Chain A
Amino acid sequence: MRKILKEKLPRLLGRLARANTLYLPRQQEAVVSFAPWQEGDSAAFEALNTAVPPKSIIFPQWETFMRFKTQGKTLELQKKEEESGGYLLFGIRPCDMASFFLLDRVFLEEPGDLLYARRREGTFISLGCSAPDEACFCTAFDLEPGWSGEADVMCWDLGKALLWEPQSEKGRHLTESQADLLVEASAEEAKTALEGRKSAAARQKEALHRKGWVLDRTAEKLEEMFDAPLWDLFRRCIGCGICTYLCPTCHCFDIQDHSAGQSGERFRCWDSCMYEDFTLMASGENPRPTKKERIRQRFMHKLCYFPNRFGHYGCVGCGRCVRGCPVMLDITQVIKEAGKRGGLKNAP
């Protein structure tokens, strides 16, 4: 196992930035978010979760994909030049790393989404968490705060150095190309990292058990909870949509035209199932007319519909929606309520 001394990091980042479009956690005024990095910029690797998930790099909040020109009866459509790719994301926390696996189910399921697929071809370097906070619950989904199998390279903070462990072909290739900046980590350091990783997971698991944030056939139970009184408690939702904007697995988008005179462009942008017009049809029909139906949809989608379709829960326990909700609505409350349901109607 190798490591990179932190004093060598600027050199490594400089090289990576020359060969790729490099994104890493950076202080952006009051918050830390993934942003392009250039020589001389600082990095905020110590931040736990970025305010906005790195999803925003691979599936941007706003992206133009077509230009159009209208004149009389004629229409001209032109696709926007596609980006060359070559993205490298450094410092992704394991929960966010896992979110890409879930987004892949949606965007790469046939027919695959080209805009997403091109950026997803990039390189992903993850940084394990040694001290997840009280809103984190990744272990509920069998994820580990300290490690992600999805990353090309997995890093672990050793204090004066980052432990560096390539996990994919791409990661091994990158490691070889930067071998002169890496040194062998001692057995002691590898052991410390492994123990830190294990204890971070164990501490969180224990806390989740104490709080009742444990999944046990949750998807199955929720199928029988469509009319549960629980959803009425969530009417206090103000419909701000922050949970969906900060969520690393939310993938809903809108498509809109923007024009000036006869020419313009078509873009897609993040959308939210928390908004009334999300399902409102031109006829005036709306299958989810109130906040109760909309919040039920969000939680059911994460914990029941998504797993039923793709075989994985649609949440990674990053805790952003829990920390960010202005009226303290909480997906863990749904997990807890489902947990209280002992027997299933259709249980064998």
Chain B
Amino acid sequence: MAQNNLLLPQVAVVEEISTETSDIKTFKVASQGGGSPLEFLPGQCAMLSLPPVGEAIFSITSSPTEKDYLEFSIKKTGSVTNFLHEIEEGYQLGVRGPYGNGFPLEMLKGKDLLFIGGGIGLAPLRSLINYCLANRGDYGQVDIVYGARTPDDLVQRAEIFDNWPRASNTNVYLTVDVEWEGWDGHVGFVPQYMEEIGFAPENRIAVTCGPPIMIKFVLEGLERMGFKPEQVITTLELKMKCGVGKCGRCNLGDRYVCKDGPVFTYAELLNLPPEY
């Protein structure tokens, strides 16, 4: 029989808050005694509790190779996230998890990886990117196509501009949707830019996350470039409450996205109702 109530969070501390954009902040969370509150895999999620406002689920953006903390990049969107954006360093919150399947690390081994992210959608990808770069020998070439509406909306600037481009056998392609003063990089939408650059599907896995409309066009673009649905991975976002496949909010066909997902191959998604 179950020994613990799965819905009970542990108390953790927000050690550091960094402002990424006008509406996105990154929160570094550690246990009260120090160290990461949870062991997890890239692509997994955790529930953050801010009583009395409530609880919401977020993808963990740090890599499991960072053992001292969890990081969450969070966009100010609803009641919990609005509250999170108001708190200061040292604030205590509840954490529970990890939830979900995470990225299929075994399947990715030895493959060239193409990451396609848009806006805050970089959050789950970043965990996997940093995990792969920390285990560089296990993976082939890494290509990262990332974009946002404006240069001011790009997150994790130190990594996208400095750390990642300097990593071995790694290319970073940045783009913004609209012309912007001071931006001399690429201008255009992520899916089109991805196709302009062009990636061969041989021995490559594409991993994408971003706004639903971006994902839709990325999937179409990948198909045109010859990627099979089995070679394309995405991570879904649905309303979730329990995180353990019981409350029913994230039910999609015969799956619970919080437990069986949030990471799915495009091939798996084609067999599920299009309600995401």
Q: List residues of A whose CB falls within 8 A of some B CB.
A: 65-66, 68, 70, 73-77, 79, 82, 106-109, 111-115, 117-118, 121, 226, 251-259, 264, 266, 268, 271, 273, 278-283, 285, 287-288, 293, 297, 300-301, 305-306, 308-309
Say yes or no: B1 contacts A273, CB within 8 Å. no
Give the tally of cross-chain contacts (CB within 8 A).
135
Report the nearest A residue to B90, measured CB to CB: A73
State which of B136-144, B165-173, B227-235, B242-250 sits at the interface with chain A.
B242-250
State the interface size on chain B (CB cutoff 8 A). 49
State the main secondary structure of chain A at its contact with B.
Answer: mixed
| Interface residue B92 (Cβ < 8 Å from any Cβ of A) | yes
Q: In the assembly, what is the distance between CA of A111 and CA of B92, in Å? A: 26
State which of B47-55, B122-130, B185-193, B195-203 sits at the interface with chain A.
B47-55
| Interface residue B221 (Cβ < 8 Å from any Cβ of A) | no
State which of B6-14, B63-71, B109-117, B152-160 sits at the interface with chain A.
B6-14
Say yes or no: A253 contacts B248, CB within 8 Å. yes
Contacts of A109 in B (CB 8 A): 245
Q: In the assembly, what is the distance between CA of A221 and CA of B88, in Å? A: 54
Q: In the assembly, what is the distance between CA of A259 and CA of B9, in Å? A: 17
B102 nearest CB across to chain A (Å): 16
18 contacts between A and B (CB under 8 A): A65-B8, A68-B51, A75-B51, A75-B94, A76-B11, A77-B51, A79-B5, A82-B5, A114-B2, A226-B273, A251-B248, A257-B51, A282-B79, A283-B77, A283-B78, A300-B273, A301-B251, A309-B254
Say yes or no: A114 contacts B4, CB within 8 Å. yes
| Interface residue B133 (Cβ < 8 Å from any Cβ of A) | no
Say yes or no: B7 contacts A65, CB within 8 Å. yes
Q: In the assembly, what is the distance between CA of A109 and CA of B256, in Å? A: 12
B213 nearest CB across to chain A (Å): 10
**CB 8 Å contact bits of B40-63 with A (1 = contact, 0 = none):** 000000000101111110000000
Contacts of A305 in B (CB 8 A): 251, 253-254
